[in-house]
Chains A and B, each alone.
Chain A
Amino acid sequence: MIEIKKLAKKFAVENPKNLSEQEKKDPRLKGRFFHSVQDVSFICKKGEVLGLLGPNGAGKTTTLRMLSTALKPDSGSVEIDGENVLAQPVIARKKIGFLSGSTGLYGRLTGRENIHYFGQLHGMNEKSIANRIQELADLLDMHSFLDRRSENFSTGMKQKTAIARAVVHSPELVILDEPTTGLDIMATQTVLEFIRGLKEQGTPVIFSTHHLDEVQELCDQVTVIDQGRTMFDGDIASFKALAEGSLHQSFMAAIQ
């Protein structure tokens, strides 16, 4: 179980002139600081899939980066099974598998080497890395391109490799930042299947997305963020109940 309470993060604005028009109008810009995330809380239990929704610039990526310990929150807490992750980031990194939205691969290494490297960084031994790669390649249908250099991969191949890399150490929690953005329908389907597989194994998954049909299909919990604050946090049924009609209506109602 992962519990996030009142996360907040501000960034120093080095040159206010470089901000976009939209950012200048944003109420989160206070003096020399941009308060990207102000108050985000949610809980994701074992075997649940949580969908993180919100408009562009709402603070989704910043929130997920804080969860993955890439960024340090200014306040708030992140607890995995009751253990405070922020105090011991290295332990948290072993428990979490994180796939960022803008992730890439080492182009001059093969798919297998990319995954292998991160297995090594996670302190796994050769045998278990080899077994795990075999297992993941079966699961994600990667055998045809696993031993080719990843610079020539298609977007779908890259995303599959990136997912395999993120979960090579069999993490207790998987965080995916917009995992289906920019993928074709088949690749999207593979990613969704994979999330479903994790859910069946009881691994909690938190993923951000703009596709409400994915939320409908997979999510048990929904959290909506806007302007760095949690606007809605609850199960899918109560999210649907926010408005009549489609999930889009519910989403609009949540950020009102």
Chain B
Amino acid sequence: MWLVFKKEIKELIRDRKTLFFMIALPLLIFPLIIGIVGFVSKQAIDKAETQILNYALIGGQYAPDIVQDLQQPDKFNFVEVSEGADYTAIIRSETVDFVLVIPENYSSNVLDNGQANVKLYFNDAGLNLVYRRVNEIVKSQSELFQQRAFSDLGLDEAKQSALIEPIVLEKVNTADARENWGEKIGGMLPYVLFLLCLTGAMAPATDIGAGEKERGTLETLLISPIDRNKIVMGKFLTIAFAGTMTALLTVTSMVVWGLVLSQGMAIKFVADFMAQIAMHDFLLIFLMLVPVVAIFAAVLLSISIYAKSFKEAQSYMGPMSILVVVPIMLALLPGVELKGVWAWVPITNVSLAMKELVKGTMDYYQLFAIFGSTVIIAGALFAFCVYWFNQEKVLFR
């Protein structure tokens, strides 16, 4: 059994393609991609912020303050447009970036003239900060008018805020910060971990079953004097090992990169959050991966040995990542908690447990149900693998 395992690992390590997916991708490529996307989007936002916007103003005579505020040559550029023009057309032809239409009743005396409905015409598809930039100006005016109205009415500050919002519904969260963030982060954790385990295990799984069949080495292996279940075990362990390693490496790289990239505030938050999770909870999270990986490995190996070729194996394995997401999503549904029947649903129970562990509200007795059900399922799948490996119609398809 270890013989088969050792040889498969040796082959795996020499396979640059698989290794690339297992190690380089999570370690370097993902942070790089995230970095590039972040950089480019920051550039785009900066550009949208500093870009000089061409604008047309209708009814400017009613709002001299706004006219004055818009006179910032490094931000806005006035374009003369006749009042009856088709605003949509001139925006589409890029003559102007926006048209601001100020109504006649615009006045600082809101008590007499009522609410002013200022219209902003612009193309809101795609990334642009037109609304935000114009709103900055309009809002400051609006607040000024509000203040003036309040002082005209002779309201003190307490009355003012009561008038703006007569009733306030205040949230008082009894969950501590860990529980609060744990629910969110802990819910995402299984997605990341499970899918990484699965992708990490897929490449070696294809190679180990369908790959051997395609290359013609399987027959020779089968007639060597070693028990079939030892061959299966060796291959199974290789796949499980590859899956676990991928998940571990990726999580480690995420933590490291997270610490490197985030600075100041965020680092303190992450450090505080991590400090609240006990070491044995961390260990349990990773221990919990073991039976899940065992399920994955057994399923992948069965698929792989059934498939006639690499291509066939890959097309069977493709839908698996979608199937895996379903039980994880179940764990995020309201009302699904780690007790009763749900503690026995494979994958869902582990997702729930991971969440509970991160939140710090784990009921440790449920571990029996979790390990019990996953071990039974993984064991059954493994037995099926061994059975599959003894079927002529599977091996010599």
Contacts and interface: CB of A to CB of B under 8 A. Distances in A.
Nearest to B18: A108
B144 interface: no
B15 interface: yes
Interface in A91-136: 91, 93-94, 96, 98, 100, 102-109, 113, 117-118, 120-123
Given A105-B215, A108-B15, A100 B224 contact: no
Contact of A108 (B14, B216, B227, B396): B14
A104 B216 contact: yes
Contacts of A149: 14
A109 B10 contact: yes
Contact of A102 (B10, B216, B392): B216
Looking at chain B's contact residues, the main secondary structure is helix
Contacts of B392: 71-72
A219 interface: no
A11 B394 CA distance: 12
Contact of A100 (B15, B219, B226): B219
Given A69-B223, A103-B219, A109-B14, 11 more contacts: A70-B219, A71-B396, A90-B227, A91-B225, A93-B225, A94-B225, A100-B219, A106-B11, A108-B11, A109-B11, A149-B14
Given A108-B11, A109-B10, A117-B7, A68 B223 contact: yes
B222 A70 contact: yes
Interface residues of A, number: 35
B217 A104 contact: yes
A102 B219 contact: yes
Contacts of A107: 215
B93 interface: no
B220 interface: yes
A96 B15 contact: no
B225 A103 contact: no
B280 interface: no
Contact of A104 (B215, B223, B225, B396): B215
B3 interface: yes
7 contacts: A68-B223, A109-B11, A117-B7, A118-B220, A121-B221, A122-B224, A162-B220
Contact of B220 (A91, A100, A108): A100
Contacts of B10: 108-109, 113
B210 to A, nearest CB: 13
Contacts of B7: 106, 109, 117
B393 interface: yes
A98 B220 contact: yes
Interface of B: 3, 7, 10-11, 14-15, 215-217, 219-227, 392-393, 395-396
A60 interface: no
A121 B395 CA distance: 19
Nearest to B16: A108
A229 interface: no
Nearest to B13: A108
A54 B393 CA distance: 24
Contacts of A117: 3, 7
B219 A106 contact: no
B346 to A, nearest CB: 30
A91 B223 CA distance: 11
Contacts of B395: 70
Given A12-B393, A72-B392, A108-B14, A103 B217 contact: yes
Interface in A124-175: 149, 162, 165-166
A94 B7 CA distance: 20
Contacts of A105: 215, 217
A23 to B, nearest CB: 16
Given A72-B392, A93-B225, A120 B3 contact: yes
Contacts of A98: 220, 223
A93 B204 CA distance: 28
A104 B225 CA distance: 18
Nearest to B393: A12
A93 B223 contact: yes
Nearest to A118: B224
Contacts of A102: 216, 219
A112 B10 CA distance: 14
Closest 4 A/B residue pairs (Cβ): A104-B216, A104-B215, A93-B225, A108-B14
Contacts of B215: 104-107
A90 B228 CA distance: 10
A166 B225 contact: no
A94 B225 CA distance: 6
Contacts of B219: 65, 70, 100, 102-103
A10 to B, nearest CB: 11
B85 to A, nearest CB: 70
A60 B141 CA distance: 94
Given A12-B393, A120-B3, A106 B225 contact: no
A117 B225 CA distance: 12
- Indicate the member of B11, B15, B225, B393 with the most A CB atoms within 10 Å: B225
A98 B395 CA distance: 17
A103 B11 contact: no
B190 to A, nearest CB: 33
A89 to B, nearest CB: 8
A68 B223 CA distance: 7
Contacts of A109: 7, 10-11, 14
Contacts of B3: 117, 120-121
A165 B223 CA distance: 12
Interface in A174-227: none
Nearest to A62: B396
Contacts of B226: 121
Contacts of A121: 3, 221, 224-226
A149 B15 CA distance: 12
A104 B11 CA distance: 15
Contacts of B396: 65, 70-71
Contacts of B223: 68-70, 93, 96, 98
